[in-house]
Structure 1
């Protein structure tokens, strides 16, 4: 058995940021193979539970995930909306979703941002109706990156003004509008394909903690962990693992944004980026698995 645990961001290392889907078949096959070999795998994402159910778990089921998860010691977990909701992943698929209502935005703000998108930004972005604890507004797939990023800047300013006017307390980059008590409990967080409006308590370290707690409840934890992501905030997964005393390295699949200095190793996959880098990373560990001889003793994935 490989002494290994994996925490994955989804957009970038697994799903193409262009197609928003897992387009490289080996990613699915290798995730199933490692699951069957007893490697605990968690998806720590800003995406909703419905996106992970449809775009990640469903295609994994098509290539044998249920049989892999039926193997003794197999563990898989999903943390969505950066820790705002979570669910186990079982032989039946995505399990019951738990939502942390304490970090959810008021319905009036949700409605206000939905109207903002519809009235002024629907030609470049859409309001994600699947989110349960945060607000996400995402680039339309038929819009160029350049056009979206121009519109995103204007949207961010308008959304900041909307939340600040409601008196909630919000931050956008260096701008801050505290609430009546002087607190700033919410923030706007932009990526290359979306803007999230979320509680400041939500982030990838919170998701990592939730996943480790779940895995620990099912058995001993590996001593070696890898976190994989394409954003600077994804380093927080490795930060949590390092702080908890694990042997950890972070795999940065978009290093052009700047590799952060950390007390643990940061891995890049040569010139590969995004899901091509994610596929290369998974392929390396499946080759290690094959060399160890564990794979055949677990599940013959190729026969599923």
Structure 2
């Protein structure tokens, strides 16, 4: 790695721009190659995701290691929307820290696990790798339209179950406080999953944690790009913009609606998901002359 200041910083959602939402793997080889080239150029790269450590380790870090991560780089993982974090080195994932203050109560976790097993196991599975939030996800062998119907029923059933346990929870426009008037958790559906999580967790929380980590290893670049496929991914760029950085957000699923923001929002033509992510990363590799 050069001693020159980094020309760029990257905050990357994983599902969508890096991993295919269909295969749940990094299916585009150039993504791995270009991430390594950018890491060698001293570009701070943070994966900020709702995914678990196990997913990032197996589906992202292992392919990166196999392709040859540099010995010196600035790479970081923030999983479960800020509840779990760790450095990434050439040797793999470093020490994992879990914020136990945001975990769901055990009866809620057990109740959701049983709900999936009893009523929804034909279209979804309970993600046993999560350490703080609770997630259920579409089975890869399930029809997506069938999953969407089942997910709507699941979300309603989960809300009923959790409020019955006395949990303070938000779901869409509905708010159910706990006995103390607090609402510490929310149900957050995505296109392939439902997360049940602390209301303190989101992509801006992950961005803040990543910047704090990178600031220890050297000056932060002025230019940043965040990349994601959900409206909540804009929160990464929101945090960077509020902190005074030159930021643009790359939306790899603009059909969901491009949000109005005081910074540029980039789309990669007609490309979406990991095809758009690959195009974006490749354009910066070429722009920086790294090939």
Instruction: Specify the TM-score bucket, using the shorter chain as the normaliser.
Output: over 0.9
Q: Which residue of structure 1 aligns with residue 91 of structure 2?
A: 92
Q: Distance in 2 between matches of 1:149 and 1:180?
A: 32
Q: Is the 8 A contact 2:170 2:187 kept in 1?
A: yes
Give the Cα–Cα distance (whole angstroms) in 1 for the partners of residues 164 and 231 of structure 2: 29
The match for 2:118 is 119
- Give the CA deviation at 1:90: 1.0
Aligned residues: 287
Q: Deviations over 1:235-277 (max 9, x none)?
A: 0000000011100000000000000011100000000000000
**Structure 2 partner of 1:27:** 31
**Shift of residue 217, structure 1, vs aligned partner:** 0.6
- Give distance in 2, aligned partners of 1:205 and 1:26: 28
**Counterpart of 2:74?**
75
For 1:269-288, what per-residue CA distance to the aligned partner results, in whole angstroms no more than 9, with x for missing partners?
00000000000000000101
Q: What SS does structure 1 have at the residue aligned with 2:288?
A: helix
User: Residue by residue, what CA displacement relative to the aligned partner does 1:120-154 show, whole Å, maximum 9, x if unpaired?
Assistant: 00000000000000000000000111000000000
Q: Structure 2: which 5+ residue stretches go unaligned?
A: none
5 Å matches for 1:276-291? 276-290=275-289
Once the two structures are superposed, residues 69-120 of structure 1 have per-residue CA deviations (whole angstroms, 9 ceiling, x without a partner) of x23xx20000000001000001210011100000000111111100000000
Aligned position for 2:167: 168
Q: Pick the aligned partner of 1:43 from 39, 47, 50.
A: 47
Output the CA distance in 2 between the equivalents of 1:163 and 1:97: 29
Distance 1:162 1:79 in 2: 29
**Which residue pairs with 1:186 in the alignment?**
185
The answer on whether the counterparts of 2:249 and 2:265 sit within 8 Å (CA) in structure 1 is yes
* Uncovered stretches (5+) of structure 1, i.e. residues with no partner: 297-304
Q: Displacement, 1:33?
A: 0.2
- Given that 2:65 and 2:91 are in contact with CA atoms closer than 8 Å, whether structure 1 keeps it comes out as no
Residue 182 of structure 1: how far off its partner (Å): 1.6
Q: Secondary structure at the match of 1:263?
A: coil
1:165-244 to 2 correspondences below 5 Å: 165-244=164-243
Instruction: Within 5 Å, give how 1:100-179 maps onto structure 2.
Output: 100-179=99-178
Matched, 1:57 2:99: no
- Mapped to 2, the partners of 1:273 and 1:150 lie a distance apart of 24
The answer as to whether partners of 2:19 and 2:274 remain within 8 angstroms in 1 is: yes
Distance in 2 between residues matched to 1:23 and 1:85, nearest whole Å: 25
Q: Is the partner of 2:265 in helix, strand or coil?
A: strand
- 1:135-174 C-alpha deviation (Å, 9 max, x unpaired): 0000000011100000000000000111111111111101
Moved over 6 A (4+): none
After TM superposition, the score normalised by the length of structure 2 is 0.97
Q: Deviations over 1:49-85 (max 9, x none)?
A: 01000000000111111xx2x23xx200000000010
* Structure 2 equivalent of residue 299 of structure 1: none
After TM superposition, the score normalised by the length of structure 1 is: 0.93
